[in-house]
Amino acid sequence: MAVPKLRFKEFNDSWDLKKLDHIAEVNPKTKELPASFFYIDLESVSEGLLIQRKKIDINEAPSRAQRLLEKSDVLFQMVRPYQQNNFYFDLDGDYVASTGYAQIRTKLNSKYIYYVLHSKKFLDEVINRCTGTSYPAINSSELSSIEVAFPSIREQTKIASFLSAVDEKISQLMQKYQLLSQYKQGMMQKLFSQQLRFKADDGSEFGEWENKTLGEVGENIIGLTYSPTDVTNDSTGILVLRSSNIKEGRLDKSDQVRVNKKIQDKIIVQPNDILICTRNGSQRLIGKSVIINDDEIMTFGAFMSVYRSKYNRFIAYLMQTPWFFEQVQMNLGARINQITTGTLNEFTFDFPCLEEQTKIANFLSAIDQKIEVVAQQIEQAKTWKKGLLQQMFV
C-alpha cells in the first residue's frame, strides 16, 4: 500500500484502503425531527464555516430538511462539489441539514475523514462521478463507492490535529481581516459624515464642505463594445476589465477576456481611474468599484464605466459608502439592472478642500494596506494548506 509524500516521522505502518461506506455511514437513518431546529442549507456554509443559520419550526421546514445532525458528523456538498463548502459539525443544539449534503458518520477519526474529503484525489474521484452540466452533482451511492486510504487511529488523530491547527490559523487571520474591515467602515462613516475632521498642517480648521455632483469634478467614461469575433486567446490582445474583475474592492485579473481591436486612447485605463460596474444580472454588483493601480495596458467593457478626476483617491472611498449605494439603488433601471454614466454624473456629495481630501484618502489607504497584508497572509495560508492536503493523503 502506498504512503503519502509528507508524513510524521514516527509513523511507518502501511495504510488501508476501503470504500467510504465500509468505514462510515453515508446518510444514516434519521430519527424524528425536533419541533424546531437550526437549518443548514447549501448557502449556509462557506470555506468550512457556518456563515448563516436560521431557526425554523418543523411545519415551516422545506422538504429537503431531513438530515438530523449529531456531533462529529461530516457534511459533504453533493451539488457542485468542486466548491468544497463542506462542514464539520461540532455544535450544541438541534441542527438539520439539507439533502443537498451527504451526511457522513464514522467510527474512525471524523476530523480525519473531513480532511480526506478535501484532498485532490478524493475530489477528482467525485468530479468523475458527477452528472449534469449547470449543476453537476454526485449521488450518495456513487459517493459511498469511492475508496479512502487511512492509517492507524493514532496517525489519523495526528493528521487531523495538525490540519485543524492550520485551519485555526486561517480562521484567526480571517477574523483579523473582518475586524480591520469593520474598523475601516466605522472610520469612513465618521469621516464622510464629518463627525471626525482633520486639521491643516498648521493646526487651523479646514473650511466647510461643498455639495457637488460627480460630473462637476470629473467625468464618467463609457466602456468598449466588442463582438465575440474580437475575442482572442492570444496574450498580446488587450485585457478588457469586466464586473468579474472586481473582487471585494480589489482588482482581480484571474478571469480574463482579451480582444484584438483598435482602442481609443480615452478608454485605455489610466492609473487612479475608478472602475465601476454599471450593468449586471445581479443587482448587488451594480455600483461595485475599484481604483486602478496597475501598469498593464487595459480597457473596460460596455457594462462598466471609468470615473476620471483629480480627486479620485478621495472619491474611490466615497464610492464605498452607503451614501453612494443609496443613490445607485434610487437610479437603477426599471427593467434592467443598470445605471447610466449620465446618471452617475448627477450623483451629489459633499466635498472638502483638496488638502483635507488628501488627508482622508491617506488615512484610509493606510488601513487598506494593513487589510491587504492580512489578505495576502490568508491566501498564503490557504495555498500552504492546499499543498498539505495533496501531500498528506494517499
Domains of the chain and CATH, by start: 16-151 (3.90.220.20), 210-351 (3.90.220.20)
Report the predicted TM-score, pTM, of the whole model to 2 decimal places. 0.85
Give the Cα separation of 300 and 306 in Å (integer): 8
> Percentage of the chain with pLDDT > 70?
100
Q: Does residue 358 have a pLDDT over 90? A: yes
Distance of CA 170 to the CA centre of its chain: 14
Q: Does residue 249 have a pLDDT over 90? A: no
Give the Cα separation of 136 and 150 in Å (integer): 28
Q: Does residue 2 have a pLDDT over 80? A: no
Average pLDDT, the chain: 94
Give the Cα separation of 88 and 76 in Å (integer): 9
pLDDT of residue 1: 60
Query: Average pLDDT of 220-232?
Result: 92
Q: Confidence band (pLDDT; 50, 70, 90) for 215?
A: very high
Secondary structure (3-state) at 219:
strand
For the chain, give the number of residues.
394
pLDDT of residue 61: 94
Give the Cα separation of 265 and 299 in Å (integer): 9
Give the Cα separation of 279 and 147 in Å (integer): 46
pLDDT of residue 306: 95
- What's the Cα-to-Cα distance from 347 to each of 62, 74, 318, 354, rounded to whole Å? 43, 49, 11, 19
pLDDT of residue 295: 86
Give the Cα separation of 21 and 19 in Å (integer): 6
Query: Average pLDDT of 353-357?
Result: 96
Give the Cα separation of 22 and 9 in Å (integer): 28
Q: Does residue 334 have a pLDDT over 90? A: no
Q: Confidence band (pLDDT; 50, 70, 90) for 235?
A: confident
Grid cell locating 312: 479620485
For residue 327, the surrounding DSSP H or E stretch is helix 322-330
**137-179: pLDDT as tens digits:** 999 999 999 999 999 999 999 999 999 999 999 999 999 999 9
How many CB atoms within 10 Å of residue 350? 14
**19-32: pLDDT as tens digits:** 999 999 999 998 89
pLDDT of residue 36: 97
| Backbone torsion region of residue 357, taken as left when φ is above 0, otherwise alpha when ψ lies between -120 and 50, otherwise beta | alpha
Q: Does residue 277 have a pLDDT over 90? A: yes
Measured CA angle at 386 (ends 383, 387), to 5 deg:
90
Give the Cα separation of 307 and 220 in Å (integer): 4
15 within 8 A of 50, measured Cβ to Cβ: no
Q: Does residue 335 have a pLDDT over 80? A: no
Mean pLDDT lowest among 96-100, 103-107, 337-341: 337-341
Q: What string of DSSP letters covers 1-69?
A: ----SS--TT--PPPEEEEHHHHEEESPPP-PPPSEEEEE-TTSEETTEE---EEEEGGG--TTEEEE-
Q: Confidence band (pLDDT; 50, 70, 90) for 68?
A: very high
pLDDT of residue 35: 96
**284-328: pLDDT as tens digits:** 889 999 999 888 999 999 999 999 998 999 999 999 999 999 999
Secondary structure (3-state) at 104:
strand
Q: Confidence band (pLDDT; 50, 70, 90) for 337?
A: confident
- What's the Cα-to-Cα distance from 226 to each of 246, 277, 299, 302, rounded to whole Å? 20, 17, 11, 8
